[in-house]
Amino acid sequence: MTDYKTIKGFSIQSVATDPLVPGIPGATWASGGNLNTARSELAGAGTQNAAIAFGGLVYPPRVGINELYDGTSWTEVGDMNTARSTHTGLGLSTAALAVGGQTPGAVVAINESWNGSAWTEVADLNAVKQNMSGSGITTAALVFAGNNGTANVATNEVWNGSGWTEVADLNTARSDIASSTNGTSTATIAFGGGTSPKGQNELWNGTAWTEVNDLNTGRQNLAGGGTSTAALAFGGETVTNTESWDGTSWTEVAELATARYDLNTGGGGASSSLALAFGGNAPPGKQNATEEFTAAGVTDAIVNEGDVYFNTATNLIRLTKKIFGTGAWASGGNLNTTRYAGAGVGIQTAALAISGGGSNTVNVENYNGSSWTEIANVNVLRSEAGGAGTTSSALFFGGGAGVDNNELWNGSSWTEIAELNAAVRYSGGNGTSTAALQVSGSSGADVEQWNGSGWTEIADVNEGRINLQSVGSVTAALAFGGREPTMTVATESWNGTSWTEVNNLNSARGELGAAGTSTSAMAYGGSNQPTAGSYTFTESWNGTSWTEVAELATARSRVKSAGASNTSALGFGGTIDGGSNMVNATEEWTVPDSIGNISVDVD
């Protein structure tokens, strides 16, 4: 008889609904209490559990109706003094502003202040305006863009609690926009609107507006909430799309249940984790529906990759796994000293830019994920050099006119140590400060290995070349691209003993940037000189083959780079034309990820 006691297994939890991805990726919209009066083109203020909705269009009249939300239901309270629509709202449910808009007779500059019980007219805007947006509170606010009744405007006014002052305009005039309504008068974003492209996004730093990454779905008449670093965009143009802003880029998340436009301007929520959508237009007409956006909490979220559970409703065993989204390049902080072809080491959030040509600099800069800081210089100026290691312990070797110099960084200074066996430039480099590879270059097919105290010649690559790239470690590496004598797509894999030719790059090039490991790598930028200029091409290596992905924003060759994998990389410096036309721009490659599910039918 079978001894069932010796059969070992583990328990699988039974659930009625699938767990959610934790945080904002697993957020959901849920029904809240309906407005008492269905309307569009209304404004609001406050948070998800304490909001105020005022004014709007109840076809045909414009109204001053005012309602308070307690997280469950709306209650009518004191109306505004001036009935209007297409205005904007700022502040809290106990202290709010209603700014501009359109009355039954005209576009107005009227500004009213709510003190928790009644509305009072205060100082008007400097110019009439409707279909605008804003951020802030009753003592420090910002109102921008919109339409003056004749044309779209880019004007921007700041409120100090008693009066309005015109400050720097947006880059693009537009109306029907949204914003991070719980931002401040010195930090907010303005997105969407009736211009081309409709997804345009601008960041305000208290002094000027800067264009940043656009919405994925361009639209107007949308709503928003949150702050300049954590915002939401939802609805507009009869869509349900909701996007989350992380300070760098937009990601599509849970959709509204009701597609609608002309919904609340202001009152979208205090953060990107908690938001409120109410009112608006959608077939067959004005809406009174309220929806609440809430991030997935601990009790309803998938916590770990690899969790297994049984869904009793679908009769499926579910396994959680990491799911990657679509990668994109985003702007990072500019280098202080423009350069090309020095060396780069580290990861996306902690990198070194070491020496380089063009500016002929011994300068070294440290990147912290947002900005570069100058640190101790190298001893010998070199471009076209190799590098390995981290921001606290790095190696800088070869380069220049073909030298064997080797310098070690200990986190505070550079020291010349044991030299390469062969003078070399245009080589690839990878590894750490105690275990590195110098791969090919002007020395031919030669490869040298560093053990922390000296260099040893090891097995050559199959195809000697210059201007190639290499990533990985002394036991598992990848070498690709370069010139031999023409630009090549050749890719070789190192297993610690020998080099093997594997699947080629899709685009032949040298002088390219690279990041990652032998199984998860990136190749970006580069050139096919002298027959072509610099490239924006980006390719991702999955351990077997190369796939073309999103391109760099700036075409460049002789770019320097850092990064841990094909989901996180950094490209900085370089040249557009192979020579003096240099760039100091930094770009950050990120592939968003979340925990999702795969299913097994148990029937």
Of 401, 459, 461, whose CA–CA distance to 428 is shortest? 461
- β-partners of residue 372 are 367
Q: Residue 1 above 50 pLDDT?
A: no
d(Cα 575, Cα 535) in Å, to the nearest integer? 10
Domain locations in the chain as residue ranges? 4-17+302-324, 23-278+293-300, 328-335+342-594
CA within 13 Å, CB half, 345: 26
Q: How confident is the model at residue 594 (pLDDT cuts 50, 70, 90)?
A: low
Surface-to-core class of residue 184, CB atoms within 10 Å of its CB (0-12 exposed, 13-18 middle, 19+ buried) = middle
Of 493, 509, 498, 506, whose CA–CA distance to 559 is shortest? 509
306-338: per-residue pLDDT in tens? 777 787 887 878 777 776 777 899 999 999 999
- Helix, strand, coil percent content, the chain, rounded in steps of 5: 0, 45, 55
Q: Residue 602 above 80 pLDDT?
A: no
pLDDT of residue 80: 98
Q: Residue 359 above 60 pLDDT?
A: yes
pLDDT of residue 183: 85
195-249: per-residue pLDDT in tens? 778 999 999 999 999 999 999 999 999 999 999 999 999 999 989 999 999 998 9
Same fold, 23-278+293-300 and 328-335+342-594: yes
Q: Are 523 and 480 spatial neighbours (Cβ–Cβ below 8 Å)? A: yes
pLDDT of residue 362: 97
Task: Tell me which amino acid residue 309 is.
Answer: Y
Q: Which two tokens stand for residue 177?
A: 């926009």
pLDDT of residue 285: 92
Segment 22-31 mean pLDDT: 87
Q: How confident is the model at residue 564 (pLDDT cuts 50, 70, 90)?
A: very high
- Which of the 8 DSSP states describes residue 472? E
DSSP letters, 351-366, are EEEEEEBTTTEEEEEE
Topology, domain 23-278+293-300: Neuraminidase (2.120.10)
The 3-state DSSP class for residue 5 equals helix
Q: Which two tokens stand for residue 340?
A: 């090309």
Q: Count other Cβ atoms within 10 Å, centred on residue 104.
A: 11
CATH classification for the domain delimited by 328-335+342-594, as one of 3.30.950.10, 3.50.50.60, 2.120.10.80, 3.30.2230.10: 2.120.10.80
233-242: per-residue pLDDT in tens? 999 998 999 9
- β-partners of residue 386 are 397
